[in-house]
Structure 1
Amino acid sequence: MTAIKRTFTCGLFCVWGFTAPFAPASELETVTVNRVDLPQLYRFDGVVEAVNRGTVSAQTAGRILAVNFDVDDRVRQGEIILVIEDREQQAEVDRARANLDTASVKRQESEQEFRRVEGVYARQAASKAEMERATAARNQARAAEQAAAAALQQALQQLGYTRVAAPYNGIVTERHIEVGETAQPGQPLMSGMSLDDLRISVDLPQNLVELVRTEHKAQAMIGGKWIDISDVTLFPVADPRSDTIE
């Protein structure tokens, strides 16, 4: 439950009437009236929810070999929560690495040929066309090597996706796949939430929005104790059915 505090000024006014003659000033009792700010509390039911919550999905295809955590298990960031078979991904890495080795050899050969033709051309013993062909071959070999290196990085990334790690400390709320099933890219695997950062969601009447925006503070009662909250966020979307804003 969340309470939003507002203060207002209250004045005390007293009216006295007498039918008898006024008493002497020495017989009158004096009372001091002070100006005070009294809090006005608006109480609303709120829902405690995790700031970080979501579902981990597969980023590569393969058969599920192991599910290391289940619902209500606590996990730490970086722990492997699920393992996908990696034979195809490992084979792709091997092919990409072999292609890179071949491309590197061809690039080295083209560099040597370029330097040879460049020296001959400097002595005017080679034609301009020969020099242009050597330059083009060298540039093409360099581009092929770069493409092969990029393909290897992509293959390594796909291999890494076979070990699904927890994105943050938290607790498992739902598992969507079992050992032996085949996962496809984008398929949900496991859901969870972090208990490190929590927030309270409240439906606030629109007539109090400006007050909250100005004061930018509230209080929440948790476990019978009031807790001051200074970090208040208003979502700029109103619910027309309830005339509230979150």
Structure 2
Amino acid sequence: MKLWITSLVFGATLSAAGLTLSGSVISDNQKMITSRNMGFVTSVNVSEGSRVRKGDLLYTIDSREIDSAKTQVEMGIAQAELSLQMYQNQYANLELNLERNKRLLRQDMVSRYEVENLELSRKNLKNMIHISERQVSQAKARLKEVNNQYNYLRITAPNNGVVVSKNIKVGEMAMPGMPAIVLSDLNALKIEVDVAENSLKYVPVGQKVKVTIPSVGYVGIGRVSAIIPSSNPMTHTFKIKISFSAKQTVYPGMYATVEIN
């Protein structure tokens, strides 16, 4: 009975006092910007802390590899067009020759065999013309693809935000898949705190909480938007994400407290 009374008093004290948790502001839309093509960095237009808008140019890389590919494709187009022109000229000459031999056949001056051979040659040339036309079309489509690659040499911001990390310099090699810039969206900020497993029942998703960010003097109401299990089950803690709205400028990394009553 004594143990039951003690537990009841403790629960009432916890409920009356509430929970105060410490955490940090995070961006729920943080992007790692990388290049699609490999090449030397030719310009960098931002630094850590820079505010950017969607579409702003972040950095550029050189086009030597694409220039080489474009030259090869253009040579392929020229060769395909030359072959097509050659077959078309041969076809035109063969048509004239065939018509002349048909007239001669009607006069019994050539054999039907010769005319049939010319007709077969015309059919073969017509097929070669169709193949060459497809080759020209494919080569031109490839050129369009190569030209589109130039767009990927100019890396732009996918959304408004602030640059929180910059890992490239002019003259360095940009590698596909390697993060060059980390961009945090300031319009998708949340507060992240750790909550002990035995206190999780006080912070269900949707729960309203008091949020304080001392460095900017912000005090407001937030709402629990997500509960995330810890990657280390031995700690028996959970990460809680809290959405909030602030009129003043708030940056990722700022210290915040959350009060749960």
Classify the TM-score, shorter chain.
Answer: 0.5 to 0.7
Query: Is residue 219 of structure 1 aligned with residue 209 of structure 2?
Result: yes
Write out aligned runs for 1:226-245 (5 A). Answer: 226-229=220-223, 232-235=225-228, 239-245=232-238
Q: How big is the shift at 1:131? A: 8.8
Partner of 2:52: 75
Q: For 1:195, what is the secondary structure of its paired residue? A: coil
Partner of 2:194: 203
Q: For 1:82, what is the secondary structure of its paired residue? A: strand
**CA 1:42–1:64 in 2, change beyond 3 Å: closer, same or farther?**
same
Q: For 2:142, what is the secondary structure of its paired residue? A: helix
User: 8 Å contact 1:239–1:245 — kept in the other structure?
Assistant: no
Q: For 1:71, what is the secondary structure of its paired residue? A: coil
**CA 1:245–1:105 in 2, change beyond 3 Å: closer, same or farther?**
farther
The number of residues matched between the two structures is: 202
User: 8 Å contact 2:229–2:237 — kept in the other structure?
Assistant: no
Partner of 2:244: none
Query: Is residue 51 of structure 1 aligned with residue 44 of structure 2?
Result: no
Q: How big is the shift at 1:54? A: 2.7
Q: How big is the shift at 1:133? A: 4.9
Inter-partner Cα distance in structure 1 for 2:17 and 2:122: 87
Inter-partner Cα distance in structure 2 for 1:130 and 1:201: 77
User: 8 Å contact 1:90–1:159 — kept in the other structure?
Assistant: no
Unaligned runs of 5+ in 1: 1-37
Write out aligned runs for 1:145-224 (5 A). Answer: 145=136, 147-207=138-198, 209=200, 212-213=203-204, 216-222=206-212, 223=217
Q: For 1:161, what is the secondary structure of its paired residue? A: helix
**CA 1:133–1:179 in 2, change beyond 3 Å: closer, same or farther?**
same
Q: How big is the shift at 1:205? A: 3.3
Inter-partner Cα distance in structure 2 for 1:166 and 1:182: 20
Going by fraction, where is helix more abundant, 1 or 2?
A: 2
Deviations 1:137-178 (A, max 9, x none): 466446534542442243223322211111211111122121
Inter-partner Cα distance in structure 1 for 2:127 and 2:200: 67
Q: For 1:234, what is the secondary structure of its paired residue? A: strand
Q: For 2:221, what is the secondary structure of its paired residue? A: strand
**CA 1:109–1:49 in 2, change beyond 3 Å: closer, same or farther?**
farther
Percent of aligned pairs sharing the same letter: 23
Q: For 1:88, what is the secondary structure of its paired residue? A: helix
| Farther-moved stretch of structure 1 (128-137 vs 45-54) | 128-137
Inter-partner Cα distance in structure 2 for 1:216 and 1:126: 85
**CA 1:221–1:184 in 2, change beyond 3 Å: closer, same or farther?**
closer
Unaligned runs of 5+ in 2: 1-14, 99-114, 240-261
Partner of 2:64: 87
Q: For 1:196, what is the secondary structure of its paired residue? A: coil
Deviations 1:2-43 (A, max 9, x none): xxxxxxxxxxxxxxxxxxxxxxxxxxxxxxxxxxxx977333
RMSD: 3.9
Q: For 1:235, what is the secondary structure of its paired residue? A: strand
Q: How big is the shift at 1:196? A: 1.1
| Farther-moved stretch of structure 1 (169-178 vs 131-140) | 131-140
| Farther-moved stretch of structure 1 (188-197 vs 218-227) | 218-227
Match of 1:144 among 135, 141, 151: 135
Deviations 1:164-194 (A, max 9, x none): 1112111111221211222233333222211
Instruction: Look up the equivalent residue of 2:27 and give its one-letter code.
Output: A
| Farther-moved stretch of structure 1 (138-147 vs 175-184) | 138-147
Inter-partner Cα distance in structure 1 for 2:116 and 2:200: 81
TM-score (norm 1): 0.62
